[in-house]
Amino acid sequence: MTVSGQRPGITLDAMRDGEVDLLTILMARTFDADAPAGPDFDRHLLDCYHSSDFFVRFPPACLDVEQYTLHIAGEVGGAVVIWHFACCEAVLGLYFIVPDFQRLGVGRAGWGLVEARYPEVRHWAVAAPRWSPRTLRFYERQCGFHPECTTGAYVTLVKDGR
């Protein structure tokens, strides 16, 4: 399924098996670029983004998984993985926009496509890296999430209703 965004050239397309290797490389590059520099940051926190696990493994109790490639002007520009749990509850298991397309409104437009695709979802959650203030601000200011709790290196943010 393809859903077109309000901005020209932004689509949310069902992920194809052949895209996983490229998306894994792009995901690693994206999260590496977002990580703090310096010796105090534990680089092992990035290991999960250097593996295809987000695309092939799913959390316990997950009832359904949907995976999308975000295309911007026909180019692969990011990915979305949604884990469905109970009725009307969904977790944004993965959402990233490659650095070349960041700060252009693509992230917000992409999130708008996700919400439009799932009008029945009444409770969203996402675990965002605590070490990335920019990511946390994005989820809060651009997408309407609010922090619920902090566990280790991640902040769980939630969004209720529409």
Q: Give the DSSP per-residue string, 14-26.
A: EPPGGGHHHHHHH
For residue 95, count CB atoms less than 10 angstroms from its CB and return exposed for 0-12, middle for 13-18, buried for 19 or more.
buried
pLDDT at 87: 78
| CA separation for the pair 95, 135 (Å, rounded) | 10
Are 109 and 142 a contacting pair, CB within 8 Å? Answer: no
The tokens describing 31, both together, are: 């999260």
Give CA–CA dist 22/52, Å, rounded.
10
How sure is the predictor about 4, in pLDDT bands with cuts at 50, 70 and 90?
Answer: very low
- Render pLDDT for 96-129 as a digit per residue (tens, 0 to 9): 999 999 989 999 999 999 999 999 999 999 999 9
Return the ∠ at Cα 56 (arms to 78 and 11), rounded to 5°: 25
Task: Give tens-digit pLDDT for 10-40.
Answer: 999 999 989 999 999 999 999 999 999 989 9
The pTM (predicted TM-score) of the whole model is 0.90
